[in-house]
Amino acid sequence: MAYKTVATRWLLSKKDLLAASFVEHKDNLNILSNMTDIEVKITASDVVFSGRGTDSIGDITLEKASSDAIERWCCHLLGISTVGCAIHSVREQAATNARNEFLERHFFDQYVSQSASPHILKSEQLEADAVVNYYEIAKCDVGLVVLAMIFDFSEPICLGLSLESDIDLGYKKAAVEALRNYSVYKTDKDYFHKKVATDRNLWCCDPELLRKIANTSSPPIGPGKLIEFPKISSHTQSVSDIVNIQDCPLYFSRTVTVGTL
């Protein structure tokens, strides 16, 4: 099956203009088994924007990383965070992805603020002293919000989130998000901790947040309980309108709570 690499092909066509670079991060410890991890960097107005993609299929990895870099560029130009934002070559899919990303973080933030223990779904052994636990933190009409948290010697290291209707796909997506950072941690712990301390995009590795989640003593959230949707609004536009390059075949979508767009 062929996969469209619209974002990647566009960046390649603008490689000189945007100083686009593509680097594969080698997983020497084989933590991301059978997966490719690629970082894409672009430079615009002397600012570097980095995107990361991880998947078992190379073209999908490239497209995820390219889209992520372009999304961060757009958010910078708009002066907004990346929460609830998405890039895609299909307008409707960009809107769907933005909505799901917003809901994923919305329900996670709600859960953290309530200091409630999540319902554990399953646990997997990574190494002799490392495990990944999967928790249900919310269930809505779109699907299940899964939190994957990796522990090393019982110390929480990083987390990943997903919102999917297919639970197995949800496990995979959340795990990949966490494992990518865990691989960096296992390769060079000093570098990992310094990076977490200075890069706000690595909030998912913030030790204070992780310990708060891991050490909560409140009653667990009941599994399977449907949570009401927040009132949301979305706006989708051409990436060309944002970056002022007229031939970009991508769409940027943002979802927020009603009244804040």
119 and 212 within one domain: yes
Q: Is residue 1 assigned to a domain?
A: no
214 and 124 within one domain: yes
Looking at residue 219, its pLDDT comes to 56
Q: How many residues does the chain have?
A: 261
Q: Is residue 107 assigned to a domain?
A: no
Looking at residue 2, its pLDDT comes to 45
150 and 73 within one domain: no
Is residue 224 over pLDDT 80?
Answer: no
Looking at residue 32, its pLDDT comes to 85
Q: One-letter amino acid identity for 247?
A: D
212 and 119 within one domain: yes
- Does the pTM surpass 0.85? The reply is yes
Q: What are the tens digits of pLDDT across the range 171-215?
A: 999 999 999 999 999 999 999 999 999 998 899 999 999 999 888
209 and 135 within one domain: yes
Q: What are the tens digits of pLDDT across the range 102-158?
A: 999 999 998 888 877 778 999 999 988 999 999 998 888 899 999 999 999 999 999
Is residue 228 over pLDDT 80?
Answer: no
Confidence tier at 216 by pLDDT (50, 70, 90): confident
Stretch 162-170: mean pLDDT: 94
Stretch 12-39: mean pLDDT: 91
Contact 124, 131 (CB under 8 A): yes
Closest among 216, 195, 196 to 206, alpha carbons compared: 196
How far, in Å, CA of 190 to CA of 94, rounded?
37
178 and 92 within one domain: no
Compute how many other C-beta atoms are within 10 angstroms of the C-beta atom of residue 162.
24
- With a CB cutoff of 8 Å and minimum separation 6, the contacts of 157 are 150, 151, 181, 182, 185, 205, 210
**Average per-residue pLDDT in the chain?**
91
Is residue 225 over pLDDT 80?
Answer: no
How far, in Å, CA of 210 to CA of 261, rounded?
30
User: In total, how many domains does the chain have?
Assistant: 2
130 and 212 within one domain: yes
121 and 27 within one domain: no
How far, in Å, CA of 38 to CA of 21, rounded?
10
235 and 208 within one domain: no
Looking at residue 34, its pLDDT comes to 86
Is residue 3 over pLDDT 60?
Answer: no
56 and 96 within one domain: yes
Looking at residue 90, its pLDDT comes to 95
Query: Between β-strands 144-152 and 218-220, what pairing exists: parallel, antiparallel or unpaired?
Result: unpaired
Confidence tier at 230 by pLDDT (50, 70, 90): confident
Which residue has tokens 């889209």?
67
250 and 166 within one domain: no
Q: Give percent of the chain above pLDDT 70.
A: 93
Full DSSP string of the chain: -----HHHHHHHHTHHHHT-EEEEPP-TT--STT-EEEEEEEEETTEEEEEEEEESSHHHHHHHHHHHHHHHHHHHHHT--STTEEEESSHHHHHHHHHHHHHHHHHHHHHHHHTEEPEEEEEEEEETTEEEEEEEEEE-SS-EEEEEEEEETTEEEEEEEEEESSHHHHHHHHHHHHHHHHHHHHH-HHHHHHHHHH-GGGGGG-HHHHHHHHT--EEEPPTT-B-PPPPEEEEEEEHHHHHT-TT---EEEEEEETT--
The pair of structure tokens assigned to 7 is 């974002």
CATH number of residue 53's parent domain: 3.30.160.20
Q: What are the tens digits of pLDDT across the range 48-96?
A: 999 999 999 999 999 999 999 999 999 999 999 999 999 999 999 999 9
Q: Is residue 109 assigned to a domain?
A: no
Q: Is residue 108 assigned to a domain?
A: no
**Domain range for 215:** 115-220
Q: Which residue would you say has higher pLDDT here, 117 or 5?
A: 5
Give the Å distances, CA to CA, from 117 to 110, 120, 136, 137.
12, 9, 10, 9
Q: Which residue would you say has higher pLDDT here, 58 or 30?
A: 58
Q: Is residue 135 assigned to a domain?
A: yes
Looking at residue 223, its pLDDT comes to 61
Closest among 63, 6, 66 to 42, alpha carbons compared: 66
Query: Between β-strands 232-238 and 36-44, what pairing exists: parallel, antiparallel or unpaired?
Result: unpaired
Q: Is residue 250 assigned to a domain?
A: yes
151 and 132 within one domain: yes
Is residue 259 over pLDDT 80?
Answer: no
Q: Is residue 171 assigned to a domain?
A: yes
Q: Is residue 226 assigned to a domain?
A: no
Give the gyration radius of the chain's Cα atoms.
18
